[in-house]
Amino acid sequence: MSCPTARFLTGLALAGTLTLAGPVAAQNAQAAAEAPAAKAEPLSRLAKLMLDNGHKTCISTLDSAVKWVHEDDAGYAYHNQWNQSAPDQRTAFAISSEKMSDTTRITAFTSTLDASGKCSTGVVQIMHFQESCPKLRETALTSWKYKGEIGASTLYELGDGSPMTIYLTPLQENCLLVKLLTGY
């Protein structure tokens, strides 16, 4: 399995200000508090377009999610949608597509300012693999723990308190993988 795909499957290292809930959140907060102040990085292309069109308050959370998914900012195509009359008060949505060595990764991002004034970001990644779900599970998802079934899909979580879930759905001899992450 290629390095980019393996990174996607293991869910390593969230970038920037995307904060997770649970025990992982506490560890991330402690590490951030102990880290020296970093120089501001330029926004990803996807986040910059949102910012330029008025989605400002939650842009750092959205940008962190984009950078977590896409290490190479030039390596993906994207399309954004936002509310043109109230872009900073309403949900913004983007979808990206990145060709990997063994599949294409489609990712949907949402960025929302909630009633309390805090930002929430949702990330849904979809990949189709030319191997069976059991084989994918045995080779690339060994650190993921079985959580249950939902329809024809099997759910897996990392088991470390992170808010990431993977859903594996058999498609004949292949496997559809959907990964869900919520960040605050």
Q: Give the pLDDT confidence score for residue 118 in this predicted structure.
A: 92
Q: Give the pLDDT confidence score for residue 38 in this predicted structure.
A: 55
For residue 28, pLDDT beyond 80: no
Helices (H), ranges, the chain: 3-10, 23-34, 45-52, 59-69, 133-140
Q: What pTM did the predictor assign?
A: 0.78
Q: Give the pLDDT confidence score for residue 148 in this predicted structure.
A: 95
Q: Give the pLDDT confidence score for residue 39 in this predicted structure.
A: 61
Q: Give the pLDDT confidence score for residue 160 in this predicted structure.
A: 81
pLDDT average, residue stretch 97-107: 94
User: Which residue in 172, 143, 133 sits closest to 9, CA to CA?
Assistant: 143
